[in-house]
Structure formats: C-alpha cells, structure tokens
Amino acid sequence: MANTVLIGAQWGDEGKGKIIDLLTEDHDWIIRYQGGHNAGHTVEIGDQRYVLHLLPSGILHEGKKCIIGHGVVIDILSLLSEMDEVVGRGLTVEGRLFVSDRAHLIFPYHRLLDENREFTAATKDKIGTTKRGIGPAYADKSSRTGLRAGDLLEADFPDRLRRRIQDYNRQLEILGADIADEDELVRQYTEAARRLKPYIADTISLLNKAADSGESILFEGAQGTMLDIDYGTYPFVTSSSATAGGACTGGGLAPRRVDRVLGVIKAYATRVGEGPFPTELDNSEGAALRNAGNEYGATTGRPRRCGWFDNVVARYSAMVNGVDAWALTKLDVLDEVDIIKICVGYKYEGKTFDVVPARVRILEKCTPVYESFEGWKTPTSGVTSYGDLPERAKAYIERLEALTGVPVAMISVGPGREHSLVREEVATADHGRAS
C-alpha cells in the first residue's frame, strides 16, 4: 500500500481518528508528525471508545508499529499516562511504539505560561488554546532553548531541567502567575525519563529503513489546515505545521516518497477556540448541529462552534495540501436538516471572492454566499454502500466534489468502523504519483 498523509482540511476534529483507524489495516507504520496532546482523536470500536491525544491511533491495532515523530511536542507525563491507559485496556505498547529522540518536550512551565497568557490577554487577543503548553514549547524549540526526548538519555538531564525551571519561575513570578515546584518536578520528570527511555529511538532512520524495505507508512495529521501556523487564520492557530508538508518536516520522510494525500472533511464545519469562522451559525441551527453531531471537544470538553460547509476553505485546503481524495465524515449528522447550505464565496465590502484572505481582520468581516440544498430527511447510518444513499445525499456529495475539484473516496455515516462507505474506484485510483 502507498505511503499516505492524512490531514484535517478544516479547523480540526474532522473525524481524523476514525478514518486513520480504517486506513491502518492497509499500512505498516502510523506516525504522528506535529502537534501534541492538544489533539483528541476518537476511535470507536464496538462498544469501546478511545480518545487518543499523543499516541498514534494505529496503536489500537496490535501488529502495527507507531511513531511519535520529531515534529511533535511531548508532555511525557501525559504520554506515559496514555500508554498506561491503553495497556490497561489490553493493548501492547512495548516494541510497537517509538518516540523520536529529536522531539521537543513540554514541561509544566510551558503550560503555566500558556494558561497565564490566555488568562491575561485582552478578550479579542485570546486564542482559546487548549492550555496544554503547546505554543510556549514550540517557541522554545524555535528559540533553541528547548529540551528534547534525546536529552532524557543524558546524565545531566535533571540539572538542565532544574536550570530551566528556575529561569521560567523567575518569568512566571514577574507575571504574577503560579510557579512550578522545582524539586518535585525534577523528581517526577527524572522518574518519567527512566520509564520512557526504552521507547526513545532515532525514528528518522527507523522510518526510512521501513520505507526502503517496502513497508508502508500512514501519517496521522492532527488539528487542521485552518489551524496551521502558516496556512491557518493566524494568530488564531496552533503552533505547528498541520498541513501535508508537515508530514515531511515533522515525520522524516522525503516529499518524493509520499504517494497520496487524503483530506478529511466534515459534512459541515466546526471550530473550537477563538478566531474567524465565516459560516458559523450562532443560533438554533448551529445548536441543532452541535446536538446531532455531539460537537464537544475531545480534549477540553468545550462546546464546538458549528456552521455550514465552507467550500472556500475546502478548496484552499485541497490546494495547499495537494489533496488526492476526501474522506467525508458525519454525513449522518445532516440527516434531519431541512435545508443544507454550502458556502461558495465570501462577500466583503461589496465584492465577492472565493479565496481565503490572509488578514483575519478581513476574514472576520466576510459574509458567506450560500448555495442551498433540500435535505434528504432519511437516516443514513445503516447504509453500507454508496449506491444506497438517498439521492439528495448523493447530490450533496457530488456537488462537494464538483466545487472542491476533489473526489470523495470514503464516506462516514456514524462513529463506528461499520459506519463507513468506501468508493473503491476512487480510493484505489492512481493519483499519478504512486510509482
């Protein structure tokens, strides 16, 4: 099977976890390449529900190997508790999980800085982060002051951590924020380092050797294109490269070895946290979508903002990620909707256009131009083949394909594995790249 990059094409929570779980069968390795435990990827298998934050979703398939790549920022306490949880549920991690020695680490001072910034920022400057310390940890990486997983293997790790804590505590004190307990943290992290050591590896060599020997790799994107540090609605973004290019910079495989890019789109749109969201329905229609789709954050439990599918965003995502095919999720959530809308352009100061503006001050004033569709008003969750979907649902999907210029290869009509329709002719098409 081909080396596949899977990305979220909207604002995250598109249902990536569920699609990764389906694709895992066809791949040997599953790798997270950016983000951290800000992600929450839900996989439902029978009556079991897993929410994965740092572990690649492939961990749920015994026999598959998983990597946390160097582009990820890791809170090792959080990782260890996630590992304990899956082991407690009968899975193996030993020998199956490899953590990049180049991956940067998140420490409690990063979280305290993140919380403090969110708490003290003026209302319109709040990002609505997950308060996991993601931004400050990536800032340390770029400032070349971060500690990496490989540093956990060094004898001087406790001393280096202590010096960092002292520096950060001085900053936190000036900000009037809580400070970290130096001795307790050094003790906790030295112990955590000891537990994590067997998993730390040179994952770049590992991955490339695997690819050389014909094994296939699935890159599990976190967040989504509109949250990407470069392509997203800056500054209301996360701090990593959540787009397809990030798979190479944060995973370690060269671009020419990626065979296909699969984009995950939800049949409507959601956003959690602050920032512009042109198709947001801040009304009873939005609340109905939230209820039907159970749109509450898998990491923070926050209610997600809901709105109509935004084709301006989808086309932009298709372009910047080079999406070969879509996996369309949560179609069933629209089953009861009378009139469904798709945003096909934005209006701003009397002009209509169909590209995402770089400036959030413009984007937040854009009003959507909609196309409307009669809803199908028929349950779709029990449907098992594309041909059996209601005609109006097929019309909606085919319109999405025409508008985005990208075919829909997979359709999800419920959270479980069984609620999935694969259009083989699209899914197995050679997109002109696989050799």
Stretch that binds ligand IMO, among 38-46, 147-155, 314-322, 369-377 (CB under 6 A): 38-46
Using alpha carbons, select from 406, 378, 408 the residue that is nearest to residue 393. 378
Which does residue 233 bind out of ligand IMO, Mg ion, ligand GDP, none, counting CB within 5 to 8 angstroms by kind? none
* 53 vs 148, beta carbon nearer ligand IMO: 53
Instruction: Give the number of other Cβ atoms within 10 Å of residue 398's Cβ.
Output: 12
Q: Are 238 and 229 a contacting pair, CB within 8 Å? A: yes
At residue 39, what are phi and psi to the nearest 5 degrees? Answer: -75, 150
| 221 neighbors 250 (Cβ within 8 angstroms) | no
Instruction: Please give the residues from 239 up to 278 whose contact with ligand IMO meets the rule CB under 6 A.
Output: 239, 272-273
DSSP per-residue codes, 277-324: -TTB--SHHHHHHHHHHT-B-TTT-PBPEEE-EEHHHHHHHHHHHT-S
Stretch binding Mg ion (CB under 5 A), from 9-17, 18-26, 67-75, 359-367: 9-17
Active-site amino acid positions = 13, 41
Cis previous bond, 235, omega within 30: yes
How many chain residues touch ligand IMO (CB under 6 A)?
23
x/- contact string, 24-43, with ligand GDP (CB under 6 A)? ----------------xxx-
15 vs 276, beta carbon nearer ligand GDP: 15
Question: Do 236 and 275 form a contact (C-beta atoms < 8 A)?
Answer: yes
Binder of ligand IMO out of 57, 225, 233, 238 (CB under 6 A): 238
Write the interaction track for ligand GDP spanning residues 314-353; mark x where CB under 6 A is met and - where it is not: ---------------xx-xx--------------------
Q: Report the residue number, 298 or 422, with the smaller CB distance to Mg ion.
A: 298
28 sits near Mg ion (criterion: CB under 5 A): no
Do 64 and 96 meet the contact criterion of CB atoms below 8 Å apart? yes
Axis crossing angle, helix 182-196 with helix 76-88, rounded to the nearest 10? 50
User: What's at 118, amino acid-wise?
Assistant: E
242 lies in the site for ligand GDP, by CB under 6 A: no
- Residue 360 contacts Mg ion per CB under 5 A: no
Closest separation in Å from C-beta 141 to ligand GDP: 23
Q: Of 80, 86, 128, 285, which lies in the binding site for ligand IMO, with binding defined by CB under 6 A?
A: 128
CB of 200 to Mg ion, least distance (A): 26
- Closest approach, Cβ 243 to Mg ion, in A, equals 17
The DSSP code for 156 is T
Binds Mg ion (CB under 5 A): choice among 4, 8, 13, 114: 13
Looking at residues 283 to 302 of the shown chain, list those that interact with ligand GDP (rule: CB under 6 A): 298
- Beta strands per DSSP E along 202-266: 217-220, 260-266
- Other C-beta atoms lying within 10 Å of the C-beta of residue 258: 22
The DSSP secondary structure of 67-87, one letter per residue, reads EE-TTBEE-HHHHHHHHHHHH
Q: Which member of 135, 246, 252, 407 binds ligand IMO (CB under 6 A)?
A: 135
Residue 382 CB, nearest distance to Mg ion (Å)?
A: 25
For residues 338 and 344, what is the distance between their CA atoms, to the nearest angstrom? 19
Using left for φ > 0, alpha for ψ between -120 and 50, and beta otherwise, residue 31 falls in: beta
Q: Is 131 helix (H, G, I), strand (E, B) or coil?
A: coil
Backbone angles phi, psi at 370, to 5 degrees: -110, 150
Which partner from the list ligand GDP, Mg ion, ligand IMO, none does 333 bind, CB cut-off 5 to 8 Å by kind? ligand GDP
303 binds ligand IMO per the rule CB under 6 A? no
- Size of the residue set binding ligand GDP (CB under 6 A): 22
Residue 129 found at the interface with ligand IMO (CB under 6 A) = yes
**Quick one: what does residue 273 bind among Mg ion, ligand IMO, ligand GDP, none, with the CB cut-off 5 to 8 Å set by partner type?**
ligand IMO
Burial of 189 (0-12, 13-18, 19+ CB in 10 A): buried
Residue among 165 and 320 whose Cβ is closer to ligand GDP: 320
- Give residues in contact with Mg ion (CB under 5 A): 13, 40, 298
Residue ranges in contact with ligand IMO by CB under 6 A = 8, 12-13, 38-41, 127-130, 132, 134-135, 222-224, 227, 238-239, 272-273, 298
Q: Would you tell me which residues interact with ligand GDP (CB under 6 A)?
A: 8, 12-18, 40-42, 44, 298, 329-330, 332-333, 412-415, 419
